[in-house]
Chains A and B, each alone.
Chain A
Amino acid sequence: MQKRLVVALAMIQFGLAGCVTINIYFPAAAAEKAADKIIDEVWQLKQDAKPAQPPVENKGDVK
């Protein structure tokens, strides 16, 4: 029982070490996600494509 506890504690230690080291490496996937978000905002890809123009309203009622 005592031995198992030691093993468990050792694994927890490894887990913690993993948490600390993960950010030493460049998080490529997270960076791509962040880049996509910023590019969408700068190029306004997810919103109105032409903010300089006033919003077009329905001139003729199509109903």
Chain B
Amino acid sequence: MNAMKNLLWILLLAFASSALAAADLEVNTPAIAAIKASMQARHGQLSKFYASGAVGLTRDGNVAVRDASLAPLAERQSMNAAVADENRDRAALYREIARANAHPEWEAEVRSTFAQRWIDKAAGGWWVQNAGGAWIKK
């Protein structure tokens, strides 16, 4: 009787821990690594636009030109291109994470999780969008 109870508990604990282990997200695929490297290389270019306020982080997990006049005229074209490339990479990143975990339908949730974390981790002085879409300075 008691032995049976103990066995039951052990089994239940084993299931609980396996369920927790299964809840980790797979992010180590070649596709994700490539996107990450591309974004990392671009960050050196974008970070000065974040700092000046020309580019900000949107509430939907993208970056956007907030005030082009804050960037030197000569750099505006490359800034626009970098923003477009960054958003393309970010879309691919969210899609690939969802796919790597065999749940393509998670893409929107992955995106909104990232959106929140990008904004939370943004450096002081950077511009981010609040829940209503208004730009605020961190």
Query: Interface residues, chain A, CB within 8 Å of chain B?
Result: 4, 8, 11-12, 15-16, 18-19, 22-23, 26-45, 51-52
The SS class assigned to the A binding surface is helix
- Chain B neighbourhood of A22, CB < 8 A: 19, 22-23
Contact B4 A30 (CB under 8 A): no
- Chain A neighbourhood of B137, CB < 8 A: none
- Chain A neighbourhood of B1, CB < 8 A: 4
- Chain A neighbourhood of B32, CB < 8 A: 38
Starting from the known contacts A37-B27, A38-B93, A42-B43, 8 additional A-B residue pairs (CB-CB under 8 Å) come to A4-B4, A23-B23, A26-B106, A28-B109, A31-B106, A36-B121, A43-B43, A52-B44
Q: Is B75's beta carbon under 8 Å from chain A?
A: no
| 8 Å CB interface, B91-135 against A | 93, 97, 101, 103, 106, 109-110, 113-114, 116-118, 121
Identify the closest chain A residue to B102 (Cβ).
A23
- Chain B neighbourhood of A29, CB < 8 A: 23
Question: Taking the nearest CB of chain B, how far is it from the CB of A35, in angstroms?
Answer: 4
Contact B121 A32 (CB under 8 A): no
Q: Is B18's beta carbon under 8 Å from chain A?
A: yes
Question: Taking the nearest CB of chain A, how far is it from the CB of B110, in angstroms?
Answer: 6
Question: Taking the nearest CB of chain A, how far is it from the CB of B105, in angstroms?
Answer: 9
Question: Taking the nearest CB of chain A, how far is it from the CB of B16, in angstroms?
Answer: 8
- Chain A neighbourhood of B23, CB < 8 A: 22-23, 27, 29-30
Contact A19 B19 (CB under 8 A): yes
What are some 27 contacts across the A-B interface (CB < 8 A)? A8-B4, A8-B11, A11-B8, A11-B11, A15-B11, A15-B12, A16-B15, A19-B19, A19-B22, A23-B23, A26-B106, A29-B23, A31-B25, A31-B97, A32-B113, A32-B117, A35-B110, A37-B27, A38-B27, A38-B36, A38-B93, A39-B121, A42-B39, A42-B43, A43-B43, A43-B121, A44-B40
